[in-house]
Structure 1
């Protein structure tokens, strides 16, 4: 699929509206069939949830698109052929990503290399060797353009392709010392961001970026990391996304090795050379099941948890993401026929009766109810807005506590 200019503008307005994150975006698209209809419905939905939110004006979205065009970038939409397939598979995939450089590298198999900003000389040497050898093996190296390990990974893979994921807008490079590096990597690589142009990165934006670093990649290699570090947040995201986590072991006397050694203890794959990564990932390249949880994933909960939620999203969870083939919306979508009042109340009672304190998936709820997925999804949304049910990580549902 390819979005029209009008649809791309509406998508940008929707994701830039207040309290709309990736999950809310997909919930709204599932319910209303398109971004334009979702924008029309959003103010009333917010009022039902007891909130008033700011809708991104059309003029603001038009200025962002024009500014990105002047910068030489483009917006890729979830479901378009140029959108990175690995990133598309995660449940918090950004609806739109801004790209500078060669977008074709995003379609090649990627490996993330992350680690300490205050890296040791040995850590920098190991990183450079890993990145160079992985590039020569056909992998694109992904990292976050930070000082230390990230910088070494990008520099060693300039000739084979590297992707820098920015926490702020593409015109707000952090740290600024790496602006020359970013310019150099454009020749064979790319930079991406989900954030608006002009937005300088804030503390909470770095965990958001970290999920994209791991989401782009079949595997994530942690070279050096303290026990409380952003690199372990990236490892946690990778594990939750079903990707393979690798860790380079280090001396127990070096605090920078504590995080990697901990990950190995929790089930991460030990990595002493690029061959260990290639051996594990080569069978996954080009396979549809390559993005599923590997058979020897780390224990759930391994890694570091972000200190706060990634988004302050409008409370519209609980709807299973639609198959990407249903997007974009039809040019003139017909209004929903809806469910009759009597039938709607019956489905509502059935859904509530099936839910208890133990979370269940939407698929299980649909099967148990005997109703259509569409009717159950609509009912779940209404119950969520009314506070009758709650959503858990991974999309599971339960009755709200009285």
Structure 2
């Protein structure tokens, strides 16, 4: 049990330290141990109290539990951590993985859709997943009812990755227990949450960003407006990945989300060949030589007057960090340091698209 893993886990599990803050801390201080030591002072300088840091004993117990389950940690920027996922600003610093780790070296396509999917859509999803597997793709989905389950079933023999919203040892929904166990054996299951975590509504968007981020493209098959599948599609688009949709009858409410995606510019697909044609540029990218992990610009010290100027530019409405840098005239690293201090003090909210606001 390495000290570095323990320290990283303590950072990840500490309240108020999200993926972006974690990356900024490591970029500034070089390693997790130094970052942990610096957090109390940074929070004080930001005008708040130090976060209640996750203690070492709890971290050691979680690591032992993961090992007992036959799983292992994947660390952002190291080893087999998925390359496409690491490109996302809010990529999980740590993932738990159980199953065939070699699947992470292949390019992946996500298939998502309605939990209450029609029988015809489930059959299509199984066939599409099987066809993608025959052409060398790994199929990613969220181990939910309906389309997700069908996609995993169709690709179990060729390669499938299930992303769960709770702990890696939790079977949700319960009827998918045997399916998840089969993926442990023949595919791969990934989880961001600690073992024993029962999935809650707030966990699913986090899971969806992993599905979108690990994949070269996302295919949506039956999705109602405002569904989780459309959130996954939006996250994929924001990450610069291919968004694809299978058209459906305008008389079926479950097809409205897919048809709207196509109207908004998603690629219409009807076969595995269509999908492969759309993601070909990403296939080349994933199969090329690994790109070294690039840390964000390291935060640097900032004087008191510059700190005040930056805080005065912030308010309750989200504003892009790039705009704060431009208007303040303060170097990027110094702005990032002020934001880091405010974040650790519990005074800053981070939003999608690199935006921030004061609480």
Aligned match of 1:286: 284
For the pair 1:324 / 2:324, whether they are aligned, the reply is no
Structure 2: segments with no counterpart, 5+ residues: none
CA distance in 2: counterparts of 1:388 and 1:369, whole angstroms: 22
CA distance in 2: counterparts of 1:364 and 1:52, whole angstroms: 25
Partner SS state of residue 243, structure 2? strand
Aligned match of 2:147: 149
Aligned residue runs from structure 1 range 3-402, under 5 A: 5-47=2-44, 48-51=46-49, 53-287=51-285, 324=293, 344-345=303-304, 347-348=306-307, 359=319, 361-362=321-322, 365=325, 369=329, 371=331, 373-382=332-341, 393-396=352-355
Bigger relative CO (Cα 8 Å, ≥ 6 apart): 2
Q: Is the 8 A contact 1:161 1:185 kept in 2?
A: no
Query: How many residues are matched?
Result: 353
Q: When the two structures are superposed, what TM-score results if normalisation uses the length of structure 2?
A: 0.87
CA distance in 2: counterparts of 1:282 and 1:256, whole angstroms: 29
Structure 1: segments with no counterpart, 5+ residues: 291-322, 330-335
Deviations 1:118-177 (A, max 9, x none): 111110111011100011111100001111111100001011100000100001120121
Relative to structure 1, the CA distance from residue 389 to residue 85 in structure 2 (aligned partners, 3 Å threshold; closer, same or farther) is closer
Q: 190-199 or 239-248, which moves further after superposition? A: 239-248
Q: When the two structures are superposed, what TM-score results if normalisation uses the length of structure 1?
A: 0.78
Shift of 1:355: 8.9
Deviations 1:189-212 (A, max 9, x none): 100001000111111111111111
Q: 376-385 or 350-359, which moves further after superposition? A: 350-359
Deviations 1:290-309 (A, max 9, x none): 9xxxxxxxxxxxxxxxxxxx
